Amino acid sequence: AQSVAQPEDQVNVAEGNPLTVKCTYSVSGNPYLFWYVQYPNRGLQFLLKYITGDNLVKGSYGFEAEFNKSQTSFHLKKPSALVSDSALYFCAVRVPSGYSTLTFGKGTMLLVSP
Amino acid sequence: GAGVSQSPRYKVAKRGQDVALRCDPISGHVSLFWYQQALGQGPEFLTYFQNEAQLDKSGLPSDRFFAERPEGSVSTLKIQRTQQEDSAVYLCASSLVDPSGANVLTFGAGSRLTVL
């Protein structure tokens, strides 16, 4: 069975400071890893994914994530946070196959203060 | 369409009523997923369609939940005899088929069901 852990319910950061949202995963074999963001009353929006290759993945809105196989982590990062980044962030994992379920973590609320 | 469309956006039902939630996926997207998102939780998988075939329904919580996609496009999630624990946001997602599994799911805004 595959699973995702997001250990922080909420992350607070001041605008302009770097941010990190943590994610660890458990899966048999090599994982495909995803980050989605959810704004109030809106669906999940795709940010970035890791499939293979370079461990540092760059995505939308200046976000990036680093895949660390030894630590089974895929932390989301941004060098300089914006107030508009405040939202709910979900990490997700699936195994490489023709069909596999995308399994989500419980989410981390990011609050960026002015 | 430009995105995944879900209706109704909000539904209030009395306990015991039947509800139907509709999902209109992106045109040409073969794969369609339903997820349930309880308050304060991440989305949890309910069921998956490839065209009209329901390939996985292992996440449906009980036999009161039923999903269909008869023509391989629009899908309906039906919940019979609703219970309070069914209160959640029901998310639909669609994607192209990718044998590697690297495809990105595009989500709709969800249908928020409240059972009184």
Q: What is the pLDDT of residues A60-96, one digit of tens each?
A: 999 999 999 999 999 999 999 999 999 999 999 998 7
Distance of residue B29 Cα from the nearest chain A Cα, in angstroms: 14
Percent of chain A with pLDDT over 90: 80
Query: What is the pLDDT confidence band of residue A98, given thresholds at 50, 70 and 90?
Result: low
Q: Nearest-CA neighbor of B9 among A42, A102, A51, A20?
A: A42
Q: Find out whether the peptide bond into B8 is cis, omega within 30 degrees of 0.
A: yes
Helix, strand and coil in chain A, % to nearest 5? 5, 50, 45
Predicted pLDDT of residue A5 = 97
pLDDT at A100 over 90: no
Distance of residue B16 Cα from the nearest chain A Cα, in angstroms: 26
Q: What is the mean pLDDT of chain A?
A: 93
DSSP for residue B59: T
Predicted pLDDT of residue B108 = 96
Is A30 at the interface with chain B, CB within 8 A? no
Predicted pLDDT of residue A48 = 96
Q: How many C-beta atoms surround the C-beta of residue B75 within 10 A?
A: 25
Q: How far is the CA of A52 from the CAs of A68, A69, B69, B102, in angstroms?
A: 12, 11, 33, 10
Mean pLDDT to the nearest integer, A41-55? 90
pLDDT at B116 over 60: yes
CA distance A26 to B81: 36
Nearest by CB: B104 against A41, A46, A101: A46
